[in-house]
Amino acid sequence: MKQEISALMDGEMYEDQADIFFDKLKRHPDTHQDWTTYHLIGDALRQPDHLCKNFGQSFHERLQAEPTVFAPHNRTSQRVRNFALSAVASVMALALVAWLSLQVGSEPTPQIAAIPQENVAAVRPASAQNDDYLMAHQEFSPSAEVHGAASYIHAVAGK
């Protein structure tokens, strides 16, 4: 829609296209602002007489009429407040961590009755005669870590 307004304003639209476009403008009242904006742009580019010729001079006069601020507002109070809040937050976080670590370390340990240990006989090592049997049936063991590959592993022992 904006391109059509621009083409109409630049005189690049044929009469039959312009008639169709005007009908479309009547049906869409929300394009009135675009129409006004493009007319304002066109007026500024053509510099008609109703625009102020000495804009720079009037701007200079308005700028001189404004009061001069010699000292800006003091922002140190805001900086001090931000620093103080940051410091307080850091100290509180550190206190929370310290308090939680003390709570974990000071938990009472449950009392367990002491049971005298029985003397257990030492287990003697299995004989080497059973090694061949154990290796042959190792693939059926539930504790085998490599399932399916145990039948391909051979024990090498110095006999």
- Residue 93 in any domain: the answer is no
- Within a domain: 15: yes
Domain that holds residue 132: 128-159
Last residue of a domain, one of 19, 38, 65: 65
Alpha helices in the chain (DSSP H): 2-9, 15-27, 32-46, 55-65, 76-105, 131-136
CA 13 to chain centre: 49
Q: What is the pTM of this model?
A: 0.28
What is the DSSP secondary-structure string of 70-88?
SSPPP-HHHHHHHHHHHHH
pLDDT tens, the chain, 159 aa long: 778 877 877 778 888 888 888 888 888 877 777 878 877 777 777 775 655 667 778 888 888 999 887 777 777 788 888 999 999 999 999 999 998 888 776 666 677 777 777 777 777 777 777 777 777 777 666 665 555 555 556 555 554
- Quick check: is 104 in a domain? no
Domain end (from 39, 65, 91): 65
Given 49, 65, 81, which residue is the final one in a domain? 65
DSSP state for residue 124 in the 8-state scheme: P
CA dihedral for 104, 106, 108, 109, sign (positive or negative): positive
Question: Structurally, how many domains does the chain consist of?
Answer: 2
